[in-house]
Amino acid sequence: MASDLTRILIIDDDEDDFLLTSDYIRRINDKKFQIDWCYKFHEALQKVDEHLYDLYFVDYYLGAKTGLDLIKQAVAHHCDEPIVLLTGKGTQAIDREAMQAGATDYLVKSELTVEKVERCIRYSLERCATLKALRHNERKYRTIFERSKDAVIRATEELQFIDVNDASSLLLKYSKPELLRLRLYDILSPEEGMFIRQQLQEKGMMYDWEAELITKDGEKKNCILSLSTETDGIKYIHGMLHDITHIKKAEKATLQAEKLASAGRLVQTLAHEVRNPLNNINLSVEQLLHELQNNAENNIYLEIIQRNSKRIGDIITELLNSSRPAEMYMERKPLQAIMDESIAIAIDRLTLQRVKLQIRYSNEPAWIMADSSKLKIAFLNIIINAIEAMQEEKGLLEIIVDSSNHQHTVKINDNGSGISEENLSRLFEPYFTSKRNGLGLGLAATLNILQSHKARIEVASAIGRGTFFTITFQMG
């Protein structure tokens, strides 16, 4: 089709009217037209379906049917070209009906002039080109919107979701209909929600802000949030959420590993520096006990020194063991069985404290490669800490074993006193403890065992609400 040639099909069952309309078109200066005529309804519809023309003029009366019928069917058949309705007389009702049917414009035959026809053709073609460009851009945007791996949202000024892509549902674990009933504020903490509202009111945008979102199942997700105010007739918010939870977890794991490695080096240095003088003390005490066998009064003090020296030696041994990679004897075993054995060891404590126990296991065995004796110690340390953190008769211990996405998850939750943020960051450090008589080696050993199983552990806690351990294993 030549770029300077405009192809027009006139659909009219009256040949005289066709000749009149085509004459007005040909009298337009500086334009080249190919004008064809069709007077049969079904033949005309077939030509429209072939998309061979740039513009259609359609008479209101077409035998048993009307031009409106043809326009409606053409639109239903995805006609993108402009259609102009020709009518014997103009009324508001016909105007409204034509526009609703899908006509680009309408002309009254008795009022036709070259200028009106030229303006109608120019306007219709320009409007059609604009609409095609808009539809093309909309399709491109929709494709990007739907295929984006990041969550993309559109929302009202009050951050009520208007539209969300599939990645939003995957990230937040809500279905699309559920999300469209929510506001962004509903998945943020009140403090973060207030900050976002203030930024949008003052600046109309915010970029690359790190926020913590709460999913449908209560999981916290670290995201980079960008929002901007757009105006398209009405104001709306366009936003993107980039999930960095895995990066945060990796950073945390790296930091934890570095801290443990540093603590391990320090422990070995201290153990070496302390054991040498301690051995000298023990040898000296043994010699004095031998020489002063008949001096009961002095022997009492020497025995105190000997007992406490042994205690220091035992603590050094425990500390060294907690910082060394645990030696594992792996076998394939279901997590449910290992957890049952751990609970059986702790059942007397649970009974004495009158703690309510809730257990939820997945139906299928969660098989892993594990040293079950070591893993029992790791689970037991967490369970005992949970029992000791809960009030007698008011405690609730929840243990969950679940499987999804090629991994097994163990959750150990309590409703105890909770752990402060400051203490939470030091939870797995050797010799860190908030207990009066504790050594602070239990959770350090637990972390060591879990790392030897290539498991990942996460802890969340709230003062007065409890502590929640989540341990993730790869399927084995």
134 and 235, same domain (yes or no): no
Over residues 168-179, mean pLDDT: 92
CATH of the domain at 372: 3.30.565.10
Over residues 47-72, mean pLDDT: 89
Residue 110 CA: distances (Å) to CA of 89, 116, 332: 7, 12, 90
Distance CA 443, CA 388 (A): 14
Please give the residue that has the higher pLDDT: either 6 or 132.
6
Confidence of residue 434 (pLDDT cuts 50, 70, 90): low
Question: How much of the chain exceeds pLDDT 70, in percent?
Answer: 93
256 and 231, same domain (yes or no): no
Mean pLDDT of the residues in the chain: 86
Confidence of residue 430 (pLDDT cuts 50, 70, 90): low
- End-of-domain residue from the set 129, 144, 159: 144
342 and 468, same domain (yes or no): yes
CB 323 within 8 A of CB 268: yes
Distance CA 51, CA 423 (A): 72
At 435 the pLDDT is: 60
In the predicted model, is pLDDT for residue 1 greater than 50? Answer: no
Confidence of residue 143 (pLDDT cuts 50, 70, 90): confident
397 and 444, same domain (yes or no): yes
- Closest of 234, 156, 168, 163 to residue 197, by C-alpha: 156
pLDDT tens figures, 415-425: 999 988 888 87
The tokens describing 260, both together, are: 């443990």
Over residues 229-237, mean pLDDT: 81
The tokens describing 318, both together, are: 């425990």
Map residue 17 onto helix, strand or coil: helix
> Sheet of 356-361: strands edge to edge?
356-361, 396-404, 407-414, 466-474, 456-462
444 and 341, same domain (yes or no): yes
- End-of-domain residue from the set 128, 144, 160: 144
At 437 the pLDDT is: 53
- At residue 395, φ and ψ (nearest 5 deg) are -80, 145
Over residues 61-75, mean pLDDT: 87
Over residues 34-52, mean pLDDT: 91
Over residues 153-176, mean pLDDT: 92
- End-of-domain residue from the set 243, 274, 289: 243
Distance CA 35, CA 465 (A): 80
Instruction: Choose the weakest-confidence range: 62-76, 121-135, 171-185, 419-433.
Output: 419-433
CB 372 within 8 A of CB 340: no
Distance CA 213, CA 451 (A): 28
Distance CA 263, CA 250 (A): 20
Distance CA 265, CA 272 (A): 11
At 144 the pLDDT is: 76
At 432 the pLDDT is: 64
CATH of the domain at 176: 3.30.450.20
356 and 458, same domain (yes or no): yes
At 470 the pLDDT is: 94
- Closest of 342, 291, 315 to residue 471, by C-alpha: 342
192 and 270, same domain (yes or no): no
195 and 253, same domain (yes or no): no
Over residues 447-470, mean pLDDT: 90
At 263 the pLDDT is: 67
pLDDT tens figures, 331-360: 999 999 999 999 999 998 999 999 999 999
At 178 the pLDDT is: 94
Distance CA 404, CA 407 (A): 6
CATH of the domain at 306: 1.10.287
In the predicted model, is pLDDT for residue 438 greater than 60? Answer: no
CB 207 within 8 A of CB 226: yes
22 and 131, same domain (yes or no): yes
pLDDT tens figures, 285-332: 888 887 877 777 777 888 888 888 888 887 777 777 666 665 778 999
At 60 the pLDDT is: 87
Q: Which range of residues forms the domain containing residue 47?
A: 5-144
29 and 131, same domain (yes or no): yes
79 and 96, same domain (yes or no): yes
Over residues 118-129, mean pLDDT: 90
pLDDT tens figures, 370-384: 999 999 999 999 999
**Range of 152-166, 414-428, 435-449 with top mean pLDDT:** 152-166
> Is the pTM higher than 0.85?
no
Provide the CB-side half-sphere exposure for 374 (13 A, CA). Answer: 21
Confidence of residue 2 (pLDDT cuts 50, 70, 90): very low
Please state the domain count of the chain.
4
133 and 183, same domain (yes or no): no
